[in-house]
Structure 1
Amino acid sequence: MSAHLNLSHLTIALDAPDAPALATFYATILGWETSRIESQTVWVNVYPAEGTAPFSLGIQQVENYRAPEWPNGDIPQQAHLDFDVASLAESEPLVLAAGATKHPVQPSKNGNFIVYLDPAGHPFCLCQA
């Protein structure tokens, strides 16, 4: 018998130079809410409507933040987010208007996902559902 966590919620945390700004970006593209927590560092939670998902994003402000350099570079990507969407064509203008940029490197051979950078430089993908 293996033991496991009795998990009630999962938070995926991202570092950022400006936590409120990056949280606003993700809340905008996902249609979620934000709540700010002040402590030794600035932390902003980004979460869906209550009961709709067992996870959220946590955006943590860090001094001297350095964006990942994907696909090659001195600062490797440590993680990235994939968002399955009904239509890549309809979703792209939304993420670009919110502040994302389309990455010049697009590794998808068949075009079923597109790589973007969020305003803090984290790679994320829109994936055809």
Structure 2
Amino acid sequence: MAEYPRMLHTVLDTTRPRELAEFYRRLLGMSYRPGDEPPADGTPDRPDWLVLRSSDGVNRLAFQQVDRLPRTTWPEHDVPMQMHVDFTVPSLAELHRQRERAESLGAELLLDRCDDPDEPLYVFADPSGHPFCVFVA
């Protein structure tokens, strides 16, 4: 018997599961759980649940269909973040490179703190409006 529950994956609500899954798949180099891949013939699909896995086959992120998703107003607190995901990179040069990648994939820059001497970082919103950070660890 396990002493503690094991975290399976983090689930993000979205009105567009495939679009958001594709954003994170490309941003993080992940792959779909078998059976969750886009249709091979390119036909549109409307999944209500998708899972991405890391290269070692571990579920990491899931995407759940919702009818509406009010976007956070962070840094204002009218609609709080409720949750965000942090990602790290090893250097300032890589931080800048990842900013370009994230924006080219559809992320919106919310905060630029790349000149912070203690913890350079960017805060982005993904295509569904979820905040995420990329910082130098």
TM-score class normalised by the smaller sequence: 0.7 to 0.9
The 1:6–1:61 alpha-carbon spacing in structure 2 relative to 1, beyond 3 Å, is closer
TM-score normalised by the chain length of structure 1: 0.81
Q: Does 1:50 align with 2:56?
A: yes
Instruction: Number of aligned residue pairs: give it.
Output: 120
Give the whole-Å Cα distance in 2 for the aligned partners of 1:123 and 1:75. 12
**Greater strand share, 1 or 2?**
1
Q: Does 1:72 align with 2:76?
A: yes
Identity %: 31
- Listed as ranges, the gaps of 5+ residues in structure 2 are 38-46
Give the whole-Å Cα distance in 2 for the aligned partners of 1:32 and 1:67. 25
Asked whether the equivalents of residues 24 and 34 of structure 1 are also in contact (C-alpha less than 8 Å), the reply is no
For residues 1-129 of structure 1, what are the structure 2 equivalents within 5 Å? 4-7=3-6, 9-35=7-33, 36=36, 42-51=48-57, 55-86=59-90, 87-103=94-110, 105-106=111-112, 109-110=116-117, 112-129=120-137
RMSD: 2.3
Question: What displacement does 1:107 show?
Answer: 6.1
